[in-house]
């Protein structure tokens, strides 16, 4: 018997109560019953985004909302900065390229966070930069970029907005959109929101909505101004992904029941336990300086094939973790602790890591990683 469990940084495990909520008979999106659900969803999203702005719900993967962020706020020929330190940083660049937006990359070694001084320097060098595009948590490397520090730089400039891909950060770490002055915040359903993929979320500050007024890029399905007008009537511009929205209500109720502060603390503890366990086993973290609390990227040790290591998690114990992407292929494993995870889930992953490394001939002292994790998990 193999009991399959998701430990991947998206999709993440879906709680049974959400699966059951989505399994009910489909309701019509023009029905008052749906509008009531959607109103609750709108309020719940504002709570998680920590914003008074409308959080728009799109029927797409997170990338759709990233595209919407670009094509609604910018114009052809605009200059932007893209923080590029992983696969999702590259995606910002690719979207800009598709729309004829000129980007200057701030290239960052994969596994490191961007230095805010590099952003100040680039903005000073070119005052016509319209936007800075960054990931809060770069899922491909497990790095957290210093979004607050970047926001402090960008908000002083009237002609520049900060666009944050918070797909694997929102609902994991404190990212108060309004308080920090983030202009566009993007997220998706299959991460901390504990849902299947298929929904994306995006919120714009007053400043970003101002930029939207001047944007000349073509948009239809991702026309956020039209989506806003529909949302304010508890509707969507086009047929919404009804069953996922019903599941989202349940997820948002879970956020409220636990309390955002506790959600952040839980993720912080699980992440720290994972990191300490890896280190106790003599393994090296890819991002020791600025790690994301959504996932932990661990380098495959000398002599251990990273692809085989990842595969063994599934083959031997049914745990679906992630490997490395692009230049990190075969070099790292990524263990997620984002969404529906508690202490003993992490113990399972660490225990599997110990058992598999031993099986693969790498010298580990069994129980040493678990002990290090327990010391964190048991602390108040």
Residue from 28, 156, 256, 265 that binds a second copy (CB under 8 A)? 28
CA 85 vs. chain centroid, Å, equals: 15
Based on the shown chain and the rule CB under 8 A, indicate whether residue 2 belongs to the binding site for a second copy: no
Cα Rg of the chain (Å, integer):
21
Based on the shown chain and the rule CB under 8 A, indicate whether residue 363 belongs to the binding site for a second copy: no
| Choice between 26 and 117, CB closer to a second copy | 26
Based on the shown chain and the rule CB under 8 A, indicate whether residue 217 belongs to the binding site for a second copy: yes
Question: For the window 312-341, what string marks contact with a second copy as x by the rule CB under 8 A?
Answer: --x-----x---------------------
Among 376, 350, 377, 347, residue whose Cα is nearest residue 364: 350
Based on the shown chain and the rule CB under 8 A, indicate whether residue 235 belongs to the binding site for a second copy: no
H/E stretch holding 82 reads: strand 79-84
Residues of span 76-135 touching a second copy by CB under 8 A: 94-95, 98-100
Residues of span 240-279 touching a second copy by CB under 8 A: 240-244
Residue from 198, 268, 301, 330 that binds a second copy (CB under 8 A)? 198
Backbone angles phi, psi at 195, to 5 degrees: -115, 165
- Helices 62-73 and 87-98 meet at what angle, rounded to 10? 50
Based on the shown chain and the rule CB under 8 A, indicate whether residue 229 belongs to the binding site for a second copy: no
Residue from 40, 61, 174, 228 that binds a second copy (CB under 8 A)? 61
Based on the shown chain and the rule CB under 8 A, indicate whether residue 27 belongs to the binding site for a second copy: yes
Cβ proximity of 57 and 245 under 8 Å: yes
Read out DSSP for 124-189?
HH-TTEEEEEEESEETTTTEEP-HHHHHHHHTT-TT-EEEEE-TTTBTTB---HHHHT-SEEEEET
Q: How would you classify the pairing of strands 322-323 and 332-336?
A: antiparallel
Please report how close the Cβ of residue 22 comes to a second copy at its closest, in angstroms. 7
| Choice between 281 and 336, CB closer to a second copy | 336
Instruction: State the residue for tokens 């920590």.
Output: 50
| Choice between 5 and 51, CB closer to a second copy | 5
The stretch among 55-63, 108-116, 148-156, 290-298 that binds a second copy (CB under 8 A) is 55-63
* Furthest C-alpha separation in the chain: 61
H/E stretch holding 89 reads: helix 87-98
Cβ proximity of 71 and 227 under 8 Å: no
Based on the shown chain and the rule CB under 8 A, indicate whether residue 25 belongs to the binding site for a second copy: yes
The stretch among 123-131, 234-242, 269-277, 341-349 that binds a second copy (CB under 8 A) is 234-242
Among 83, 165, 157, 75, residue whose Cα is nearest residue 123: 157
Residue from 44, 62, 142, 291 that binds a second copy (CB under 8 A)? 62
Number of helices (H), then strands (E), in the chain: 14, 14
Please report how close the Cβ of residue 68 comes to a second copy at its closest, in angstroms. 9
Residue from 218, 259, 288, 378 that binds a second copy (CB under 8 A)? 218
The stretch among 77-85, 238-246, 294-302, 347-355 that binds a second copy (CB under 8 A) is 238-246
Both tokens of 129, joined, read 């930069």
Nearest-angstrom CA–CA distance, 242 and 122: 43
Please report how close the Cβ of residue 322 comes to a second copy at its closest, in angstroms. 8
Q: Where do contacts with a second copy occur on this chain (CB under 8 A)?
A: 4, 6, 8, 10-11, 13-14, 19-20, 22-29, 31, 59-64, 67, 71, 94-95, 98-100, 188, 190, 196-198, 217-223, 238-244, 314, 320
């Amino acid at each position: 018997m193999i009991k399959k469990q998701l430990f991947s940084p998206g999709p993440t495990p879906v709680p049974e109560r959400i699966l059951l909520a989505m399994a009910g008979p489909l309701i019509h999106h023009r029905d008052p019953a749906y509008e009531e659900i959607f109103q609750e969803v709108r309020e719940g999203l504002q709570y998680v985004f920590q914003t008074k702005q409308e959080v728009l719900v799109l029927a797409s993967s997170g990338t759709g909302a990233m595209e919407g962020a670009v094509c609604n706020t910018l114009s052809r020929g605009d200059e932007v900065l893209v923080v590029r330190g992983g696969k999702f940083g590259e995606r910002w660049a690719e979207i800009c390229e598709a729309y004829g937006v000129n980007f200057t990359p701030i290239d960052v070694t994969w596994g490191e966070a961007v230095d805010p001084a590099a952003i100040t320097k680039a903005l000073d060098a070119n005052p016509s930069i319209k936007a800075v595009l960054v990931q809060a948590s770069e899922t491909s490397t497990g790095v957290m970029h210093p979004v607050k520090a970047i926001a402090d730089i960008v908000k002083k400039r009237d002609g520049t907005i900060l666009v944050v891909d918070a797909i694997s950060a929102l609902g994991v770490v404190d990212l108060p959109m309004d308080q920090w002055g983030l202009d566009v915040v993007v997220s998706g359903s299959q991460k901390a929101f504990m849902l299947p993929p298929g929904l994306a979320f995006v919120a714009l500050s007053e400043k970003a909505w101002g930029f939207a007024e001047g944007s000349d890029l073509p948009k239809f399905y991702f026309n956020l101004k039209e989506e806003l007008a529909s949302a304010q009537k508890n509707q969507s511009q086009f047929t919404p992904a009804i069953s996922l929205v019903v599941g989202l209500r349940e997820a948002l109720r879970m956020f409220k029941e636990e309390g955002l502060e506790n959600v952040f603390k839980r993720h912080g503890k699980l992440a720290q336990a994972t990191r300490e366990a890896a280190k106790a086993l003599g393994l090296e973290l890819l991002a020791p300086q600025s790690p994301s609390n959504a996932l932990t990227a661990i380098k495959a040790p000398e002599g251990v094939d990273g692809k085989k290591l990842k595969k063994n998690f599934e083959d031997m114990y049914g745990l679906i973790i992630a490997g490395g992407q692009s230049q990190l292929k075969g070099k790292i494993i990524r263990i997620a602790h984002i969404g529906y995870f508690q202490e003993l889930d992490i113990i399972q992953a660490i225990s599997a890591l110990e058992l598999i490394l031993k099986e693969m001939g790498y010298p580990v002292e069994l129980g040493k990683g678990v002990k290090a994790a327990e010391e964190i998990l048991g602390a108040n």
